[in-house]
Amino acid sequence: MRHTIILLLISGISVTGFSQSENASDQKLQLGFNFGINYSNLQSDENPLSNSAEFSNALGYQMGILVDYSLTDRLSLNPRVEIAFNNGTVIFPNASEIQDVHEVLPVGLDIITYLIYELGNGKNRPYILLGPDVKLPYLDKVRASYQFSSSTIVALDFGIGLNFTSEKHSFSPELRYSYGFSKQGHPFLKPFQLHSISLVVNVKS
């Protein structure tokens, strides 16, 4: 895990440094990295949950590398690879007063492809994004035979952002929601879904 994080950071810094020779606003191809926080949102059609279980949703964090390729003056293709440390859990009460906590996709590798459409004119432009997100379980620790292993999630992401462009770099704070279509199976619960909200900063050059 430590090696993966270091590799992502080195890759992001390297690609931004490599592409500094042109004005950021004039480049057709930009490389970069991002970092930020996320909030897991576990949801189920079952209410209340079986076996007196409860969902616990909390903050996590994420980072990744990205490529931005301009298709037109306003439209760009933006593939990304991100590693997300999620903090959504299923909690079962226990007679011994020790809760059984089951983590849902604690570490995920997100393979993402966005279409980004910029609004307005000038160097600093708001934008909207939309695209598929495949979340692969990366490190899923199953501590007991009755616990479950998270499965791959196919999601649709949508969001908004604001692109600030300087001479060499561009910075984009971005808010997005990821709607997970794939359901997670659990031996003691009906299938449920993992959605998430993310606030990240993209750095490109």
pLDDT in tens, 59-70: 999 999 999 999
Size of the chain in residues: 205
Any idea which residue has 């993402």 for tokens? Answer: 112
**Contact of 67 with 88, CB cutoff 8 Å:** no
**Furthest-apart CA atoms within the chain: distance in Å:** 64
120: tokens are: 């307005």
pLDDT in tens, 141-185: 555 444 567 889 999 999 999 999 887 788 999 999 999 999 988
